[in-house]
Chains A and B, each alone.
Chain A
Amino acid sequence: MGRYTARRLLQLMPVFIGTTFLIFALVFAIPGDPIRALAGDRPISPSTVATLRDEYNLDDPLVIQYAKYMVGLVQGDFGKDYNGREVTDIMAQRFPVTIRLAVVAFLFEIAIGLVAGVVAALRRRSYLDTLVLVTTTAIVSVPTFVLGFSLQLLLGVKLSWFPIAGISQGWYSYLLPGFVLGALSLAYVARLTRTSLVENLRSDYVRTATAKGLSRRRVVGRHALRNSLIPVVTYLGIDLGALMGGAIVTEGIFNLPGIGQQVFLSVRAQEGPVVVGIVTALVLVFIFANLAVDLLYGVLDPRIRYE
């Protein structure tokens, strides 16, 4: 397992370099001059422009810029934005919001998605099963921004049950946006759990467990569920990475000062260093979430061996 982990970490290198280079090139390709954008309508002296262009290596070819950026990155230096703020400071301020949002969304996925899936599987073809089927289909069909605005309008504006925007009420502020963010995955988790459990309930070893004289609760809870959760846990693990980076729309709707909102603002302001820095951090989160899932897989399913 140690060797496997080491090899996987080595394999991550090209993935990391490839993705970051791609992001770097894309940001580089955004039309317009960032220094001009920084100044807005005010006049700016050519010497200032030259100093700034030099400081941010803007006159170097793309590959050299990228190389210089990576050298800094390896030393933990994510660079500065065009106002001179450290990108790491911006991330330190923004990431906690996104992490809280992701955690709430993740808990919704587990609490509601898993339970709905298990109930649907155990009561197959019942009223409850149909309810889960219809609800999840509806959730999957509706885009996040429609769901977000609708719930914001209904539960926030009309009923005043939840704050409409911002994070002034602590964790409570995250409930509604967390649900919106987690809704799609919640539906998938429910479907995945149901399918997987239904399949396992028909399996030979579940029949064996019943033939052993075990209670239904033990047969389902210990024997069937343990096997059924393998694909679900895999999905959840990968999704945790996705939740961190995929919150641009949700953070926008609920005006949460998180990473997604920052990326959106930075792209508009052509703040290349911030965009690249944040997305690079997200790439790292993704890569490690994937590695963690692959390792967890072996723990959950003893048939999987790491060579």
Chain B
Amino acid sequence: MPATEVLTATEATPHRADPLLEVEDLAVEFRTRDGVVRAVDGVSYHVDAGETLAILGESGSGKSVGAQAVMGLIDSPPGYVTRGSIRYRGRELLELDEGGMQRIRGRHVAMVFQDALSSLNPVFTVGDQIAEMYRVHEGASRAEARRRAVEMMDRVHIPAAERRYGDYPHQFSGGMRQRIMIAMALSLGPDVLIADEPTTALDVTVQAQIMDLLAELQRDTTMALVLITHDLGVVADVADRIAVMYAGRVVEQGAVSALYERPAHPYTLGLIESIPRMDDERDELVPIPGAPPSLMRIPPGCSFHPRCPMAQDVCAEDDPPLYAVQPGRESACHFWEEVLTSHG
């Protein structure tokens, strides 16, 4: 069981003095009729005030489930948090009852989802949905809530916010809808914003606008941003640190620049090599062979070994712990040193 080693590795990272949000050895499983799905299996990360942490992974890597567990949004049954710890300002969130979580959600930790159209209630005006935050959490009067909701809509650059207050979600474009979601999430000035693939459903140009907006809103505050994405391009521009997830685990984490320049895990290396580049002299992209494993049948040993070009016998047997590569840098690969030195 590598759990203790994971802990040790995490202990070694800096910023330990005052982590705003800290997830430790989190495991979430779904007990379905077909079997147990281990969506998240021993994930640890932390994020500090003002920092942006990107959680990178393919679909099914457990990145969204992990984030929903932080917010207490896992439907149970069939989902269960089976172990681990989620601490916000040192307070254990997993021990809070429903009422306690309600006081955390929205006010301290807020979340933006991928598909803004389905994530907004179709039968209420967008203004009402933002104003609801002030009415419920702060007991604001109708007029006061409206005024502040319009203010928030202005802040996320929705043109003619006052006039559009009474419009319904379907009357907005995809990008504008995501701005509404962001306005709603940020309405109470949370300390942590978890953005779950906020740009995936959008056009490329609109994606950039939304990322710029998030960066802009974050600059003005000390808000921490946990950005969940599968898009390496998005990550490079905005994130301070990255946690790369594979099959329910964090396989590598570290500062963006270090990780991009010299990955210490073959999966990260594969991801970077599969990005198309304008200045690329290669004729073809190099994809990672194979597909991620079913979370019901995660391979023994290192879960990446069936797809790994560097796999050796030990990889099929021993589950690699998170090795401390450098201060603040970890990799769950037995051969991280070889990976690190294999390029650059």
Contact = CB atoms under 8 A, between A and B. Distances in A.
Interface of A: 202-205, 207-216, 218, 223, 226-227, 230, 300-303
B220 interface: no
A213 B123 contact: no
A212 B106 contact: yes
- Listed from nearest, the 4 A-B pairs whose CB atoms lie closest are A213-B106, A213-B105, A204-B118, A205-B121
A205 B120 contact: yes
B193 to A, nearest CB: 11
Interface string B214-256: 0000000000000000000000000000000000000000000
Given A204-B115, A300-B123, A303-B170, A212 B73 contact: no
B68 to A, nearest CB: 8
Contacts of A202: 75
Contact of B123 (A210, A215, A218, A226): A226
A227 B107 contact: no
B71 A301 contact: no
A301 B132 contact: no
A206 to B, nearest CB: 8
A213 B73 contact: no
A205 B122 contact: yes
A196 to B, nearest CB: 13
Interface of B: 68, 71, 73, 75, 98, 102-107, 110-111, 113, 115, 118-124, 132-133, 136-137, 168, 170, 181, 184-185
The dominant DSSP class at the A interface is helix
A218 to B, nearest CB: 7
B121 A227 contact: yes
A223 B124 CA distance: 9
Contacts of B115: 204
Contacts of A210: 71, 73, 105
Given A204-B115, A214-B132, 16 more contacts: A205-B120, A207-B113, A211-B71, A211-B111, A211-B185, A212-B132, A213-B102, A213-B107, A215-B102, A215-B136, A223-B121, A227-B122, A227-B123, A302-B168, A303-B122, A303-B168
Contact of A207 (B119, B137, B170): B119
B167 to A, nearest CB: 9
Contact of B122 (A207, A218, A301): A301
B247 to A, nearest CB: 24
Contacts of A203: 118
Contacts of A227: 121-123
B31 to A, nearest CB: 14
A154 B118 CA distance: 50
Contacts of B102: 213-215
Contacts, number: 75
B120 to A, nearest CB: 6
Contacts of B137: 213
Contacts of A216: 98
A213 to B, nearest CB: 3
A289 B68 CA distance: 45
A192 B233 CA distance: 46
A230 B122 CA distance: 12
A59 B343 CA distance: 104
Contact of B104 (A213, A230, A300, A303): A213
Contact of A211 (B73, B136, B170): B73
A300 B123 CA distance: 7
Contacts of A303: 122, 168, 170
Contacts of B98: 216
A210 B137 CA distance: 13
Interface centre among A202, A204, A303 (most CB of B within 10 A): A204
A272 B133 CA distance: 63
Given A213-B136, A303-B168, A208 B119 contact: yes
Nearest to A124: B77
Contacts of B107: 213
Contacts of A209: 121
Contacts of B119: 204-205, 207-208
Contacts of A208: 113, 119-121, 181, 184
A301 B123 contact: yes
Contact of A218 (B111, B136, B168, B185): B136
A46 to B, nearest CB: 69
Interface centre among A203, A205, A214, A303 (most CB of B within 10 A): A205
A184 B279 CA distance: 70
Interface centre among B73, B122, B133 (most CB of A within 10 A): B122
A118 B98 CA distance: 21
Interface centre among A210, A213, A227, A302 (most CB of B within 10 A): A213
B123 A212 contact: no
A207 B73 contact: yes
Interface centre among B68, B104, B136, B181 (most CB of A within 10 A): B136
A226 to B, nearest CB: 5
17 contacts: A202-B75, A204-B115, A204-B119, A205-B119, A205-B120, A205-B122, A207-B119, A208-B113, A208-B119, A211-B71, A213-B102, A213-B133, A218-B136, A223-B121, A226-B121, A300-B123, A301-B123
B110 A211 contact: yes
Given A212-B106, A213-B104, A216-B98, A302 B122 contact: yes
